[in-house]
Amino acid sequence: DQQVKQNSPSLSVQEGRISILNCDYTNSMFDYFLWYKKYPAEGPTFLISISSIKDKNEDGRFTVFLNKSAKHLSLHIVPSQPGDSAVYFCAASGGGGSNYKLTFGKGTLLTVNP
């Protein structure tokens, strides 16, 4: 059973526009959420995180929103740039003494067109 779901396998946006990547989770014990970016043949690179005590965290062009009641989080990239083209993974951890274990979604391939 997938506890972290990224329902859109791919997303295409124009340079300069907003990219919105979505993620849903089912485990209410999760209390820390992260986004990673991955280029081909490289490992995932940490992008931004949010704790469950917050509903928003911002870092430059990247903002993560958390809606705990809906068990939903999203990553906004504004403005999108061609270099942002990559696979984005949502991950979650927490609860039950297993806060070290990240549970990942399957990823969303973002393509930013010039």
Partner 1 sequence: GAGVSQSPSNKVTEKGKDVELRCDPISGHTALYWYRQSLGQGLEFLIYFQGNSAPDKSGLPSDRFSAERTGGSVSTLTIQRTQQEDSAVYLCASSLVVSGVQPQHFGDGTRLSIL
Least distance in angstroms from the C-beta of 21 to partner 1: 14
Distance CA 15, CA 101 (A): 35
Are residues 81 and 29 in contact, defined by beta-carbon separation less than 8 angstroms? no
Q: By rule CB under 8 A, what count of residues binds partner 1?
A: 27
Distance CA 67, CA 24 (A): 10
Q: Enumerate residues 15-74 that contact partner 1 by CB under 8 A.
A: 31-32, 34, 36, 41-46, 49, 51
Q: Which two tokens stand for residue 46?
A: 């940490």
Least distance in angstroms from the C-beta of 114 to partner 1: 27
The contact set with partner 1 (CB under 8 A) reads: 4, 31-32, 34, 36, 41-46, 49, 51, 89, 91, 93-94, 98-107
